[in-house]
Structure 1
Amino acid sequence: MSARESTGFMNMCIRAAEAGDLDSMWAVVQTIRADGDAPPFFAGFDKETFRSHWFGSQASYVAVREGEVLGMYKLGANYPGTGWHFASATYLVSPHGKGLGIGHSLVAHSIGHASCDGSLAMQFNYVVSNLATAVMFDEEKGFSIVGTQYRNST
């Protein structure tokens, strides 16, 4: 696959994230966190923590349309060592990109990359349950829910 890939969908491009994308990616995180749709481990993230996680050892990709980052994902082995053959990804879609198929495109893109990288399976550790379209799409792709973590209201 090339470094820059057009999806043909809304003139959107999914490409490897670059250092220059950090501010735009962080803005997406902040917006999602304010909406309450962020994975639970994002609660204490500051920008530097986010940068180290998303520009560290795992590959990160962004979905861009007309210069705006509408979504992103991070892909890598679910666990190091003997867990290398199970891929895992974290996805975030900007509120500006919701309902446009951005998440579907990111998941399809990541599954393709995971397969090319030698992964035999993919596991999503966190899918925010109130994002019903994400849950339905994952189930349509053959994923199963094997556990639910409830939000602590205290």
Structure 2
Amino acid sequence: MAEVILRAYERRDAAGAVKIWNDITRTGNAFPGEIEYTAESINSLFQEQTRTVCALLDEQVAGFYILHPNNIGRCAHIANASYGVSHAVRGHGIGRRLVLHSLTTARECGFRGLQFNAVVASNTRAVTLYESCGFQRIGKIPGGYHTKSGGYEDIYIYFYNLVNENQNE
């Protein structure tokens, strides 16, 4: 595989990023949203984030992450992130590079932790990745995800302490 380049999102990345986002949305086992984006609306979403970073492979968007506060006001020092990797290149370490890069970026932005609110239990690739990167599973919400087929599935809450990293062990 060619070298993967991580860099800040640019407007020209919208077409590639929206394809990845919408593929994940259509699959219905990871993102909470059900509405697909256009290149213009994904551009607006990505521009609103604290940081958006793309993974480029042969100058094409192969993945991305968005990073922003998990909440407002007195809780805005904890970040949240979403990741997307093209189906065509999954299993090649791009997701891991994005997650690790987002931890560094979150620290640089002054966040004290990174929290995931809704990791779908059957999304075993994400669960394995997050745990191998040092995230701690801090809770489970039974039936917290409404599946595409109409059922309900558990979701996990994960946290990574950016201030005291030895608490992530």
Contact 1:29 1:38 in 2 (8 A): no
Contact 2:49 2:66 in 1 (8 A): no
- Identity in percent: 30
- Counterpart of 1:44 in structure 2 is 35
Runs of 4+ in 1 over 4 A off after TM superposition: none
Give the letter for the 2:47 counterpart: F
Query: How far 1:27 moved relative to its partner?
Result: 1.2
- Counterpart of 1:104 in structure 2 is 96
- Counterpart of 1:131 in structure 2 is 123
Give the letter for the 2:37 counterpart: D
Of 68, 72, 78, 2:64 maps to 72
Give the letter for the 2:146 counterpart: R
Kindly report the root-mean-square deviation, in angstroms, between the aligned alpha carbons of the 2 structures. 2.0
Deviations along 1:52-76, one digit per CA (max 9) or x if unpaired, are 2222143111000101211100012
Query: How far 1:145 moved relative to its partner?
Result: 4.5
In 2, Cα distance between equivalents of 1:98 and 1:35: 14
Gaps of 5+ in 1: 1-8
- Counterpart of 1:147 in structure 2 is 140
**TM-score normalised by length of structure 1:** 0.83
- Counterpart of 2:9 in structure 1 is 17
**TM-score normalised by length of structure 2:** 0.77
In 1, Cα distance between equivalents of 2:121 and 2:60: 26
In 2, Cα distance between equivalents of 1:44 and 1:37: 14
- Aligned pair count reads 145
Query: How far 1:10 moved relative to its partner?
Result: 4.5
**More divergent stretch after superposition (12-21 vs 28-37):** 28-37
